[in-house]
Amino acid sequence: MASAPTEEITGSFVDPVLMNAIESAVHGSLAMANISVRCVGVSAIPSRDQGSITGMIGVHGDVTGFVTVNVSQATAMDVVSALLMEDCETLDHQVIDGVGELTNMITGGIKKGLTGTPWAFGNVTVPSIIVGTSYDIAYAQGFKYLVVTFEHVNCKSIMVHDRLIRVATSFIRL
């Protein structure tokens, strides 16, 4: 399922190059698992992530910063189950590793989408995974921040916050 046109959701504060790279990366990464998402929000202001699992990857080159992917436990288990083609019924090392791989896939897609643009980066770190809900990620001033929120449309969860996937970039050009 395609998301709403970017113009309907974004404003002038959104860098269209970053937005397009994030959207393409998320749709491309999840299509491999036959998962449909739709873009439901965009922000240039950092806020507390609702999900309980966050994958984080550092990027560096002409641009440095981070990419984070935040999901609920229900979405993590659903996405990893689809990627592995086997049921994941508990939050275990396999699901946590799977969120790391999802973060890797999305970051790789963003990297590809930004090639040849002023936001291009050449190197990425291995993913780190944060599990829990009582934390904040602080972002330094001067970074270009963008978070795009997607709804996992074929998730079985009835609570909206359990269907959200938030992908954030925090970049600064060197």
Supply angle C-alpha 98, 134, 10, rounded to 5.
Answer: 70
Say if residue 114's pLDDT is above 60: yes
Tell whether 97 is covered by a domain: yes
The pLDDT value recorded for residue 2 is 46
Query: CA-to-CA distance for 162 and 156, rounded, in angstroms?
Result: 9
1 or 169, which is more confident? 169
Say if residue 12's pLDDT is above 90: no
Say if residue 8's pLDDT is above 60: no
Looking up tokens 């904040």, which residue turns up? 136
Tell whether 5 is covered by a domain: no
Tell whether 72 is covered by a domain: yes
Rounded to 5 degrees, what are φ and ψ at 98? -65, -40
Segment 56-79 mean pLDDT: 95
Tell whether 165 is covered by a domain: yes
Dig out the tokens for 165 from the structure.
């996937």
160 contact partners, CB below 8 Å, separation of at least 6 = 151
**What is this structure's pTM?**
0.90
Residue 91: pLDDT band (50, 70, 90) is: very high
Tell whether 3 is covered by a domain: no
Q: Look up the domain containing 138 and give its range.
A: 13-173
In the Cβ-directed half-sphere of 106, how many Cα atoms lie within 13 Å?
A: 33
Residue 162: pLDDT band (50, 70, 90) is: confident
Query: CA-to-CA distance for 147 and 68, rounded, in angstroms?
Result: 9
Tell whether 1 is covered by a domain: no
Number of domains composing the chain? 1
Tell whether 33 is covered by a domain: yes
| C-alpha pair distances (Å), 77 with each of 52, 67, 98, 173 | 12, 21, 9, 35
Say if residue 131's pLDDT is above 90: yes
Tell whether 138 is covered by a domain: yes
CATH number of the domain that 60 lies in? 3.40.1550.10
Average pLDDT, the chain: 89
The beta strand positions in 72-159, using DSSP E, are 123-124, 128-131, 144-152
Segment 125-133 mean pLDDT: 94
Per residue in 68-79, pLDDT (tens digit) is 999 999 999 999
75 contact partners, CB below 8 Å, separation of at least 6 = 51, 152, 155, 157, 162, 163, 164, 165
The pLDDT value recorded for residue 4 is 47
